[in-house]
Amino acid sequence: MNLKAIFLGTLVLAVTTNAASNCDSETSKAKSLFEKCTKIGKAAAGYADCAANYKAQKAKAEQACRAGNISSGGDLETAVKEWEYHSNVRNCRSNNKWKDPNCATILQQWGQELFKLEEYYFTEEQTKYEELVQWCADRDNNVKKFPQCSITSTPPKINHDGSLPIFLDYVKYFPDGSTAPSMLFQASFILENKGELRQALDLRKTLVSKYPNHTLASGAWLRIGEYYYNNEKWVDAIKAYEKITNMPTNNPREKKEAAYAQYHLAESYYNLEDYERAAQEFWAYIDGADKGKYIKDMRVEALIYRGLAYYKKASYDEAIKDLEAALKINPNNTDAKQLLEEVRQAKSEAKK
């Protein structure tokens, strides 16, 4: 199931910065590869190569999304200096209750422009890195002869240490500002990418607590659920996922978020060894996907997982039915094939 975890976090930047058509094109290619790998199945011979190709395309899509909304570095640097000047003149980053009412907008603009500048710097660095990687590969990565090739083992990392404090100051000094939810959301992803997961969790909890009806609330709840899921706190994960599955799905983003929430909700019950409830929740995803409430990306895997839940309950006929349904959709799925064979064998032995 690891590919879904990878795809779930893909292109957050595309959501938050409205990147251009090249971003959409490369993202579509990544999604196609993701679907291809899912159909192959983890046990198949070609899965490892497919997963590697997917990760490479995912990285390419992320870079396209970063570049899609970036103007020239010089323009961004000028904008950053201007907004920083306005902030300093008005003492915007302070507790002074008499500060200029325009400070909220100033901090927002400063943070966003600096964020884009940081993305620009990273894109430039990433391009140079990829050129060096190719150059070194053409020379058999001979580090002794070409010492500069030694750095190809350490790819560049995005650095938002400049914009993050500005976003956090906006939330601190203007907690009821019109863009506070967006600032919380964006800051949480920066923290997550830095590995500061607990701090990211706290910001997301603040967002859903103060702005439960905001359009970003479902995405925040999803990441809250993922935090608990990845830490094997299944009950807490279930509580977070249920917040999303009860929300309406009026657009593609909401359908995707709700789909992942419903799927991982079912997985959480499975991990609690509540196989009956897990089977019910996997069916809720399958039925919802068929009715257009959720995206259908994980329909085959949901059938396999539900079959596995029934298998754990020794409900062999139900398990066989689900696995056969999965193979009807994707006849080449090796996970379904192997599990179906195992279930049939278990059913045969149970009759003895």
Domain boundaries, the chain: 1-69, 71-174
pLDDT digits (tens, 9 = 90+) for 194-204: 999 999 999 99
pTM as predicted: 0.78
Average pLDDT over residues 41-60: 75
What is the residue-averaged pLDDT of the chain? 87
Report how far apart the first and last C-alpha atoms of the chain are (Å, whole number): 35
Q: Span 31-48, mean pLDDT?
A: 77
Say whether pLDDT at 44 is over 80.
no
| pLDDT reading at 288 higher than 50 | yes
Cα(343)–Cα(316) distance, integer angstroms: 6
Percent of the chain with pLDDT over 90: 69
For 23, the token pair is: 């971003």
At residue 35, the 3 state secondary structure works out as helix
The answer, yes or no, to whether residue 243 has pLDDT greater than 60, is yes
Q: How confident is the model at residue 148 (pLDDT cuts 50, 70, 90)?
A: very high
- Please give the single-letter amino acid code of residue 198: R
**pLDDT given for residue 7 in this prediction:** 38
DSSP SS3 for 335: helix
Find the mean pLDDT for residues 222-234: 97
Cβ neighbours for 18, distance < 8 A, ≥ 6 positions apart: 69
Burial class of residue 245 (count of CB atoms within 10 Å of its CB; 0-12, 13-18, 19+)? buried
CB distance 255 to 266 below 8 Å: no
Opening angle at CA 338, ends 334 and 341, nearest 5:
140
- Predicted confidence at residue 351, as pLDDT, reads 80
Residue 115 scores a pLDDT above 50: yes
Q: Which of 56-65, 87-96, 241-250 has the lowest mean pLDDT?
A: 56-65
User: For position 68, what pLDDT does the model report?
Assistant: 56
% of the chain with per-residue pLDDT over 70:
90
pLDDT band at 34 (very low <50, low <70, confident <90, very high): confident
Q: Is the pLDDT of residue 297 over 90?
A: no
